[in-house]
Amino acid sequence: MYTTHSEVDTGSGVPVKEPQRQLYYIELIKDIINKKENETGRKQLMYVNTFGCQMNAHDSEKLEGMLLEMGYGRAEKETEADFIIYNTCCVRENAENKVYGNLGMLKPYKKKKPDTIIALCGCMMQQSSVTDTIRSKYSFVDIVFGTYNLYRLPELLYSRLTSGEQVCEIMTGRGEIVENLPSVRHFRYKASVNIMYGCDNFCSYCIVPYVRGRERSRRPEDIIAEIKSLVADGVCEVTLLGQNVNSYGKGLEEKISFAELLRLVNDIDGIKRIRFMTSHPKDLSDELIYAMRDCKKVCRHIHLPFQAGNNDILRRMNRHYTKEDYLGLVEKLRENIPDIGITTDIMVGFPGEYNVDDTLDIIRKARFSGAFTFIYSKRNGTPAAVMEDQVDPAAVKKNFDSVLGEVNRICAELNLEKVGKVFEVLAEGVCGQDERLLSGRLEDNTLIHFEGDHSLIGSIVNVRVTESRIFYLMGKQEDL
């Protein structure tokens, strides 16, 4: 699934405006790639390796879209590619370590095949400590760029291909939003759509606002136009993406809230399901809860990270809500949207968090149908990194295990309650583990594998749950 673009005139100089400028460079690279293919007698291949969150996964779809448009094919594995790009994450230290680990393995490959171009981009590159390390210890890397200028890949690659020099471009300040560059989708029937970039919340542990910059919302008409073109291409489920979707609209000329945007998307013909993530509890308005209740296509699911249960910890995390506020929101959501699935992010071991009693209390009361659990990771440059009472890792591990145990116990209970009942499922594709089964999700986002004909892929099917596991369900298509 791949969107191409109209003819570009490469005869009248380099366009100043975007996206025309990058489309111009794509055309120039096409010629270079063509020549290489004629010389070598084989297709030039690329490999995009994505680390981190859904936002990065979606950015990688844009990188791949541009590379395919240039004429690259997809390599099955890294070590077959002529162009390798890592789209990096730095939210926790282990994400960074993974990047360095993989990069270490690329060094001998680059030695053997010096024509291979290696590029690094994304969140990690926005930190000067990282770019310094890359320059000194990983000098075989050809192109380095950050999160603000992802759309400039064609120009940067062209510069590397023609100059032979290392190219490094890290931007700061306000990022430009560039519409209408090529993109691919990894799924036929579902797609992610950015509605905003960046984050203004500055939770005290989090590096994201520093590496993804201030909040910038896309114009509603651009979002709607993108969704309409996705629908025309067969997509029936969209996920609206942003670091904090509830504060969508800030800074736009036209006054619009996220709840209003949801209602506009709900009115688009052909869309069957609408999801969104991530929501911040401090901005979860009644207006949004009512929009979720009223809009039939909006899935009964919300991802609402609470991070920690203790009020003192929440205050020092700069989260702007209390345990009681959070539980109040959960109650309001359940009152207005019966059967809603609530999922969350939980962090264990923030400075000063020696016990997780309040966190466990929230888990028991809110009864999450899923949770991402993380051990706090110290990020240099954030206020939490210089807080005094960093917790001993052994104590953190014990607390983490009890949080995980409780989350899993409740997920399993919720899944067990579903056995015997019938749910609507969007059949997303063939199950990775067993070709005879299809995989999809319930409205509340629970994963299910079920017996059903392949012709059902892309439609919403009634499925009876036959078995439950901690993280997923098994089922059978219900005869109508």
Residues of the shown chain interacting with ligand SF4 in the complex, contacts defined by CB under 6 A? 199, 201-203, 206, 208-209, 243-244, 280
Pick from ligand SF4, ligand 5AD, none: which does 192 bind, CB < 5 to 8 A by kind?
Answer: none
Q: Which of 345, 424, 451, 478 binds ligand 5AD (CB under 6 A)?
A: 345
Residue placing its CB nearer to ligand SF4 in the complex, 149 or 243: 243
Residue placing its CB nearer to ligand 5AD in the complex, 123 or 230: 123
Q: Residue 92 interacts with ligand 5AD (CB under 6 A)?
A: yes
Pick from ligand 5AD, ligand SF4, none: which does 463 bind, CB < 5 to 8 A by kind?
Answer: none
Residue placing its CB nearer to ligand 5AD in the complex, 83 or 321: 321
- Site for ligand 5AD, residues 68 to 87, rule: CB under 6 A: none
SS (H, E, C) 430-462: ECCCCCCEEEEEECCCCEEEEECCHHHCCCEEE
CB of 374 to ligand 5AD, least distance (A): 4
Pick from ligand SF4, ligand 5AD, none: which does 2 bind, CB < 5 to 8 A by kind?
Answer: none
Q: How far is CA 195 from CA 247, 305, 378, in A?
A: 11, 19, 29
* CA atoms of 72 and 64, how far apart (whole Å): 9
Region for residue 180 given its phi and psi (left: phi exceeds 0; alpha: psi -120 to 50; beta: otherwise): left
Contact present, 88 and 150 (Cβ < 8 Å): no
Q: Residue 377 interacts with ligand 5AD (CB under 6 A)?
A: yes
Q: Supply the angle between the helices 220-232 and 258-266 in degrees, to the nearest 10.
A: 30
Q: Which of 70, 89, 90, 91 binds ligand 5AD (CB under 6 A)?
A: 91
Q: Residue 376 interacts with ligand 5AD (CB under 6 A)?
A: yes
Output the CA angle 429-430-431, nearest 5 degrees: 115
Residue placing its CB nearer to ligand SF4 in the complex, 157 or 240: 240
Pick from ligand 5AD, ligand SF4, none: which does 351 bind, CB < 5 to 8 A by kind?
Answer: none
Residue placing its CB nearer to ligand SF4 in the complex, 154 or 242: 242
Residue placing its CB nearer to ligand SF4 in the complex, 92 or 218: 92
Pick from ligand 5AD, ligand SF4, none: which does 374 bind, CB < 5 to 8 A by kind?
Answer: ligand 5AD
* CA atoms of 340 and 431, how far apart (whole Å): 25
Query: Mind giving me the DSSP string for 206-253?
Result: --HHHHH-S-EEPPHHHHHHHHHHHHHTT--EEEEE-TTGGGTTTT-S
Residue placing its CB nearer to ligand 5AD in the complex, 56 or 217: 56
Q: How far is CA 255 from CA 219, 247, 428, in A?
A: 10, 12, 36
Pick from ligand 5AD, ligand SF4, none: which does 209 bind, CB < 5 to 8 A by kind?
Answer: ligand SF4
Where does this chain touch ligand 5AD (CB under 6 A) — which range of 11-19, 103-111, 128-136, 369-377?
Answer: 369-377
User: 479: burial class by Cβ within 10 Å (0-12, 13-18, 19+)?
Assistant: exposed
Pick from ligand SF4, ligand 5AD, none: which does 376 bind, CB < 5 to 8 A by kind?
Answer: ligand 5AD
First to last CA, the chain: 32
Q: How far is CA 75 from CA 61, 356, 383, in A?
A: 15, 45, 42
Contact present, 203 and 210 (Cβ < 8 Å): no
Q: Residue 192 interacts with ligand 5AD (CB under 6 A)?
A: no
Residue placing its CB nearer to ligand SF4 in the complex, 154 or 305: 305
Q: Specify the DSSP element, H or E, that contains 420.
A: none
Sequence-ordered strand ranges (E) for 43-148: 45-50, 73-74, 83-88, 117-122, 143-145
Binding residues for ligand 5AD (CB under 6 A): 91-92, 205-206, 305, 307, 345, 347, 374, 376-377, 379
